[in-house]
Structure 1
């Protein structure tokens, strides 16, 4: 039925997929927020590995640098700056769990069917493998997208200042 050759790329894909899925499940199921952030960082690192498999080394580097590094550290600082009170969870209801399981399985089935039946057109690669894509990304970012890039940096700065103000109000 399936004619699959077991290659190093195939093994790396499934290893990285397992890391990402385990990290995502752990993030949803762990109770300590710091442990959640660490499992989220594992998902980000697995995604960076996927980018390496796609020969997008620059994007993988940025993924590790920005998301696995900076965002995770920022979230840990945010957790440490705010007060957290223990919240008792109400007992889970079996009807809700059953409906959630049915919804998840249905979503998986719909997505699986959609992916298997979709025919994708041949794409022309804008970059040839082995080329220096970093230079092309930099030129495109600083010529065609310089205004959105600068607006994003202002937005992130305002969000960070807002988070500090909110944390200060809670401390007082």
Structure 2
């Protein structure tokens, strides 16, 4: 067993554990923190795969931005804790059968898809070419998306403040 295998095993167990905790937690804040833990673990797996750009993007976008956005959303909204209704046994069985069928279709599709046999040159496309494409060809859509996200954030804050004033 190599150190890389042990690191992959530990990171994958952490990622799966964070996902399971996220599903089973009761409070939304704990769910968001478990999801951020999962995102960090996936970034570590990207580092093991020699993809440092993807690891940094994973930390910046998902662990940073999405998790913080979720935390702000949680803090700006009011939550009423309701009792969860008990899930009937037949609902769990139907859910398990549905997930098993989906897994079967997914695996069948993966194994039926032919893999490309040609060798690609990693120097043909790298981070420099990606940066040039984003800031030359796709600069306007990139900026429009950032403005749209900013408007959505400001709108959420205004709506939250308006609800707070109406409830008072």
**Same fold per TM (> 0.5)?**
yes
RMSD: 2.3
Taking the aligned partners of 1:126 and 1:153, their CA distance within structure 2 comes to 33
Query: Judging changes above 3 Å, is the alpha-carbon distance between structure 1 residues 113 and 14 closer, same or farther for their aligned structure 2 residues?
Result: farther
| 2:84 paired with 1:97 | no
Q: Which has the higher contact order (CA 8 A, sep 6+)?
A: 1
2:81 corresponds in structure 1 to 86
From 128, 145, 162, give the equivalent of 1:169.
162
Task: Out of 113-122 and 161-170, give the one that drifted further.
Answer: 113-122
CA-to-aligned-CA distance 1:24-81 (integer Å, 9 cap, x gap): 2221111111110111111211221232233221221121122212321222122112
Aligned to 1:155: 148
Q: Which runs of 5+ in 1 are unaligned?
A: 1-5
Residue-pair matches, total: 165
User: Which residue of the partner structure matches residue 134 of structure 2?
Assistant: 141
Contact 1:20–1:47 (CA under 8 A) maintained in structure 2: yes
> Structure 1 residues 24 and 115, CA, compared in 2 at 3 Å: closer, same or farther?
same
Q: CA deviation at 1:132?
A: 9.9
| Selected match of 1:65 from 54, 60, 63 | 60
TM-score by length of 1: 0.83
Tell whether the 8 Å contact from 1:82 to 1:170 is kept in structure 2 after alignment.
Answer: no
1:123 and 1:25, CA in 2 relative to 1: closer, same or farther beyond 3 A?
farther
- The structure-2 alpha-carbon separation of the partners of 1:16 and 1:118, relative to structure 1 and needing over 3 Å to count, comes to farther
Report the structure, 1 or 2, having the larger helix content.
Answer: 2
Within 2, Cα distance between the matches of 1:42 and 1:96? Answer: 30
Partner of 1:74, secondary structure, is helix
